[in-house]
Amino acid sequence: MIRLETDKTGEIIKIDRGDISITYTKEGEMCQAVIQNNYKHIYGMGEKFDYIDQKGHTCINRVEEKFCNQGDKTYCSIPFFFTDSGWGLFVETDCVTSFEFEKEIRVNFPVNASLFLFQGKPLDIIKEFNNYLGIINSPPRYAFGPWISANRWNSQKDVEEVVANLENYDFPATVLVLEAWSDEATFYIWNGAKYKEKIGKEAFKYEDFDFSASEQWDDPKQMVKDLTQKGIHTVLWQIPVYKKMEEGIHNLQNEIDEKYAIDNKLCLYKKDGSPYRIPEGNWFAGSLVPDFSNPETKEAWFSKRQYLLDMGISGFKTDGGEFIYDDSVVSSNNKTGKELKNAYCQEYTRTYYDYLGKENVLFSRAGYTGAQRTPILWAGDHQSTYKELKNVYRAAISAACSGIIFWGFDIGGFAGPLPSADLYLKSTQFACFCPVMQWHSEPDGGQFKEILKGAEGNNERSPWNIARFYGKPELLDEIRKWHKLRMKLIPYIYGEAQKAADKGIPMMRMLFMENPTDEKAYDYEDEYYFGDDLLVAPLFEENIKSRTLYLPKGKWIGMFSKNLYEGGGIVSSDNEEYPVFIRQGADFDIDRE
């Protein structure tokens, strides 16, 4: 790794290193690097939904919220890329930057940024980049089993019903995510609980809450305990706001928290001295945003949430974080809105990750440089369409090319009408060979009705609801196989997760990463290694049962047929239940696993 710095005098600088030439030009507070190199492919730039190979495209390095069909926008942007010609570049800045990947590569960045040049094979470049960022820990073992989630679950009765369905339909699960669990005002108090309000850093205990009159939760502590005894870990939804309540709705604890945040400068402020509020037209408009760079904010924020961990909660789903729209915002560590547009989400998730510790789980939508060190990333909101499933696949692979190790998505899509039975099956099959396997869905009727009409009635993306909706009870048997296979794969996946974290390399790897001298490997974007020993060629077209694929050199065994395949060319998966192949000689036995 070579650190390149701009010349503060404004002179043009030219660097020649063999087959790469970099020319800097400074103008005001911005610089442009023009890079000349003979390359064919370029990868990285974070979780990209539009393309895996970014050659011929322009990338704006900006963390943004976009509900479905993200196009060139992304929740997780990372200013890092590498090429097939053996070098990569990282721009160390929190500010928005732009990258033009044409015959010449043009990078526009602030003058105070640092550029780092990497040379070597693709995995070596990613490893060196991740090692520069710092230690990465694997999530705990239970995070690699099936996850279940639906926004419609907003009561203990709902949870008991879904657990009963798991048992009745014989489906395994290791994580249950509750989104609609809280009062929707503080986001740390169970809905329906009665209590005496607390000020500032005064901590709640579970015993402070009276659930005797609650219509939602009878005894959430016992519920969480019962789930844990069944091997199911509970994760709760979070959002980084002091919420502005809807007109006519009042919550005294919410009002106390907001006043305390303003009085003690626990929220982000603007340069004119006024508290920053999320602008109208955006999610949680009018809300204050906590300043997690302030230690006092962290102490007050988590003093209210500690009782949740004490009662057995295993982690948080940290949604949002893409809330900075004003350059005049200032944090306590003197970052401005220009930096916080990207940096805030990482400050938010890093704070939660440090608080939880590595034995609990974090599931985050937004990320920036350093997201590798605060696993797990999930792909955000998507419609239930084949097009969106392909977009999600691109996001998975581009995130992996950017150093993200642990990643997941919502099986069958999150929003709109329910997925077809075929789409749901193909999503399940793909998810079985991703770091996280999870089904999830928006609220009944659709979260954004003015944008996208949701499913009528029960919008849950559970296997039994999809089978019920289409009148296909046999679908349950098919889907169950993949959930049970996932449980068998946990020893392999967890072992590969630990190795990947130790080495700083992704779990989902493009073919050329394992075969850097095989020029053909660069031509196949729709296949990937899952760990060291599995090669997956997912099915994303409607109603297809098999496909052709490229097997790299060596001998491979079909996971389901046990047939032996000779690599180094194109093969058909006609004889396979699903195109997954095991590297011959691997210490892998699905029946043993």
Q: Among the options 322, 410, 496, 514, which is catalytic?
A: 322
- What is the model's pLDDT at position 451? 54
Separation of alpha carbons 79 and 61, rounded Å? 6
The overall average pLDDT reported for the chain is 95
- What is the model's pLDDT at position 444? 74
- Annotated catalytic, 381? yes
**Of 159 and 9, which is predicted with more confidence?**
159
- What is the model's pLDDT at position 3? 85
pLDDT digits (tens, 9 = 90+) for 373-389: 999 999 999 999 999 99
- What is the model's pLDDT at position 443? 80
- What is the model's pLDDT at position 508? 99
Region of residue 112 (left: phi > 0; alpha: psi -120 to 50; beta: else): alpha
- What is the model's pLDDT at position 278? 99
- What is the model's pLDDT at position 86? 95
Helix (H) or strand (E) holding 569: strand 569-572
Separation of alpha carbons 508 and 498, rounded Å? 14
Rg (CA), the chain: 24
10 has pLDDT over 80: no
DSSP string, 447-486: S-TTTS---SS-----HHHHHHHHT-THHHHHHHHHHHHH
Separation of alpha carbons 117 and 124, rounded Å? 13
Against a cut of 0.85, is the pTM above it? yes
231, 144 contact by CB (below 8 A):
no
Q: Which two tokens stand for residue 398?
A: 């581009």
Residue that is written with structure tokens 């500010």 in the block = 95
Q: Please report which confidence band the pLDDT of residue 326 belongs to, taking 50, 70 and 90 as the band edges.
A: very high
**Of 68 and 394, which is predicted with more confidence?**
394
Whether 2-120 shares its CATH topology with 145-239+294-497 is answered no
In the chain, what percentage of residues exceed pLDDT 70? 96
- What is the model's pLDDT at position 229? 99
Separation of alpha carbons 408 and 508, rounded Å? 11
361, 438 contact by CB (below 8 A):
no
Q: Among the options 258, 319, 525, 576, which is catalytic?
A: 319
For residue 454, what are the contacts with CB-CB under 8 A and spacing of at least 6? 415, 416, 417, 442, 443, 444, 445, 446, 447
- What is the model's pLDDT at position 120? 96
- Annotated catalytic, 64? no
User: What are the residue ranges spanned by the domains of the chain?
Assistant: 2-120, 145-239+294-497, 507-583
Ranges of beta strands (E only) in 71-190 are: 80-83, 87-92, 97-101, 104-110, 114-119, 146-149, 175-178
252, 196 contact by CB (below 8 A):
no
Beta bridge partners of 536: 528, 580
For residue 365, what are the contacts with CB-CB under 8 A and spacing of at least 6? 75, 76, 318, 319, 320, 321, 377, 378, 379, 380
**Of 226 and 445, which is predicted with more confidence?**
226
18 has pLDDT over 90: no
Q: Please report which confidence band the pLDDT of residue 458 belongs to, taking 50, 70 and 90 as the band edges.
A: confident
9 has pLDDT over 60: no
Q: Which two tokens stand for residue 498?
A: 């630990």
The single-letter code of the amino acid at 590 is I
Q: SS3 for 542?
A: coil
- What is the model's pLDDT at position 209? 99
Domain 2-120 class in CATH: mainly beta
pLDDT digits (tens, 9 = 90+) for 532-581: 999 999 999 999 999 999 999 999 999 999 999 999 999 999 999 999 99
Within 10 angstroms of residue 183's Cβ, the number of other Cβ atoms is 17
Kindly state the average pLDDT of the residues 27-55. 96
Separation of alpha carbons 213 and 225, rounded Å? 21
Region of residue 15 (left: phi > 0; alpha: psi -120 to 50; beta: else): beta
Residue that is written with structure tokens 């950017």 in the block = 402
533, 582 contact by CB (below 8 A):
yes
pLDDT digits (tens, 9 = 90+) for 199-255: 999 999 999 999 999 999 999 999 999 999 999 999 999 999 999 999 999 999 999
215 by Cβ neighbours in 10 Å (0-12 / 13-18 / 19+) ranks as exposed
For residue 71, what are the contacts with CB-CB under 8 A and spacing of at least 6? 49, 50
- What is the model's pLDDT at position 334? 96
Kindly state the average pLDDT of the residues 421-447. 92
**HSE of 402, CA atoms in CB hemisphere, 13 A:** 32
296 has pLDDT over 70: yes
pLDDT digits (tens, 9 = 90+) for 150-186: 999 999 999 999 999 999 999 999 999 999 999 999 9
pLDDT digits (tens, 9 = 90+) for 271-294: 999 999 999 999 999 999 999 999
7 has pLDDT over 70: no
Q: Among the options 65, 84, 291, 381, which is catalytic?
A: 381
Separation of alpha carbons 418 and 207, rounded Å? 41
Give the fold, CATH level 3, of 145-239+294-497: TIM Barrel (3.20.20)
Q: Please report which confidence band the pLDDT of residue 11 belongs to, taking 50, 70 and 90 as the band edges.
A: low
Q: Please report which confidence band the pLDDT of residue 457 belongs to, taking 50, 70 and 90 as the band edges.
A: confident
- What is the model's pLDDT at position 5? 64
The listed CATH number (3.20.20.70, 2.60.40.1180, 3.40.50.620, 2.40.30.160) that belongs to domain 507-583: 2.60.40.1180
Kindly state the average pLDDT of the residues 471-499. 98
